[in-house]
Amino acid sequence: MERQVAPVTLVTGGTYGIGRAITLTLAAQGHTVYACGLEARQVGSIAEAGIAGTAAELAQRQLGADLAEVDVADGAQVRAWVAGVLSRHGRIDALVNNAAIHPRGDVTQTDEALWDHVIGVNLKGVFLTCRAVIPAMRAAGGGAIVNIGSGAGWGKPDLAAYSASKGGVFALSAAMAWDHLDDHIRVNVVVPGGTHSGMTGLGSVPAFERLASRTATGRVTEPRDVANAVAFLLSDAATQISGTVLDVGCFSHQGGRPLLA
């Protein structure tokens, strides 16, 4: 049965790049969106001050969303954010975990504090938000969660901490899909290809030109492509899908041709 009311949906890292596209797309599709992000630039990213930019794009499109600054690695902040949404709506229907940081380096170049920070945001953040929303979803009879993964979750050079964190997202997502199957809570992962975002903004333009030749369209994967995949997995059209990984990179992360060869 299709929903008769607008789904209440949380989006972490929802104020810049891929996350902003997800926020805009879901708002345009009728979701009541609560998006969060951090305003200060994070390690491995050019993203900063995203709330004002997201608010401006929403206004330009005559859309609305509630935007807040929340550190997903801080359990108290996550609990307060979720509690505020529940106090207003009494339910949460969907969650998108997109918040992540992307520092480079092998294990010898990654100090303990940086390792803890990456795992804290990219993996613990998923754990904290899911732990906060799943009881409400269970009480309401179900819900949908989409976690944003990465091809680095299968291992990429010079991304030791990031790869470890995203590998953990794959495993945690699969475990939650099993654990909450009978709760009618669907958990899936979307893997972006080489996508214009706060993280990839640090890369070179020629690298993206080479990426473009490795997609079905002959162009670089855009944030809107990832957002459309997320929207599908949250929709009633995907009610029979849980525990899957949807690659929006045209084979680039699943044994296809080398990404930048």
Residues designated catalytic: 162
- Spatial distance between the Cα atoms of 174 and 160, rounded to a whole number of angstroms: 22
* Cβ atoms 54, 35 nearer than 8 A: yes
Which of these, 99, 73, 93, lies nearest to 11 by C-alpha position? Answer: 99
* Residue 7 DSSP symbol: P
Amino acid identity of residue 77, one-letter, is Q
Residue 258: count of CB within 10 angstroms of its CB? 7
Q: Is 244 exposed, middle or buried (0-12, 13-18, 19+ CB in 10 A)?
A: middle
Strand order across the beta sheet in which 8-12 lies = 66-69, 32-37, 8-12, 94-97, 143-148, 185-192, 245-248
Which of these, 155, 193, 12, 201, lies nearest to 95 by C-alpha position? Answer: 12
* Cβ atoms 100, 122 nearer than 8 A: yes
